[in-house]
Amino acid sequence: MGVKATPAIGTPTRRPRRRFTAEQIRRYLRAFDCSGDRAAVFARQHDLVYSVLLRWLQRRRQAPGAWPRAESGRRRPLKLQELPLGSLLGTGRWAAEIVRPDGVTVWVAHDVPAGWWEALLDRGAC
């Protein structure tokens, strides 16, 4: 009769991380929706980590129809809309415009405290 080796008490046994494709995630979520089970029961039955299933459900609630995104590289074309600069910046609120050597532009409002200006200029941040 042999002795069975068991991990020491307090030593966590971790299984390797599993990666799921977008299609696999969709299938699991569809099966969960049809099962009527609680998330913990479904995760146990399908050998999923409970927190992973919860994360998938949360992401789907936050972005219905957009998550999980297919990995096939098929993306919808980006839609850009031109906006007048004045509508973003307002009119007459800016006291100064600072252009850094790397091209970043900072607009400073007229109501910025003097201490902030002093700290900005003393440190040579721009």
User: Within a domain: residue 111?
Assistant: yes
Q: Which of 16-20, 85-89, 97-101 has the lowest mean pLDDT?
A: 85-89
User: Within a domain: residue 100?
Assistant: yes
The range of the structural domain enclosing residue 30 comes to 22-62
User: Within a domain: residue 14?
Assistant: no
How much of the chain, in percent, has pLDDT values that exceed 70?
64
Give the H/E segment covering residue 34: helix 22-35
Q: pLDDT per residue over 59-97, tens digit each? A: 988 887 777 765 555 566 767 677 666 666 666 666 777
User: Within a domain: residue 86?
Assistant: no
How many beta carbons lie within 10 A of that of residue 63, not counting itself?
11
Q: What are phi and psi of 114, to 5 degrees?
A: -60, -35
pLDDT at 27: 93
How much of the chain, in percent, has pLDDT values that exceed 90?
29
Number of domain units in the chain = 2
* 40 Cβ contact partners less than 8 Å away, ≥ 6 residues apart: 50
Retrieve residue 33's tokens: 């929706």
User: Within a domain: residue 55?
Assistant: yes
User: Within a domain: residue 107?
Assistant: yes
Res. 30: pLDDT tops 80: yes
User: Within a domain: residue 56?
Assistant: yes
* CA atoms of 52 and 85, how far apart (whole Å): 43
Retrieve residue 49's tokens: 């980590």
User: Within a domain: residue 115?
Assistant: yes
Give the H/E segment covering residue 98: strand 94-99
Retrieve residue 43's tokens: 């995760």
Average pLDDT over residues 9-35: 85
pLDDT at 47: 93
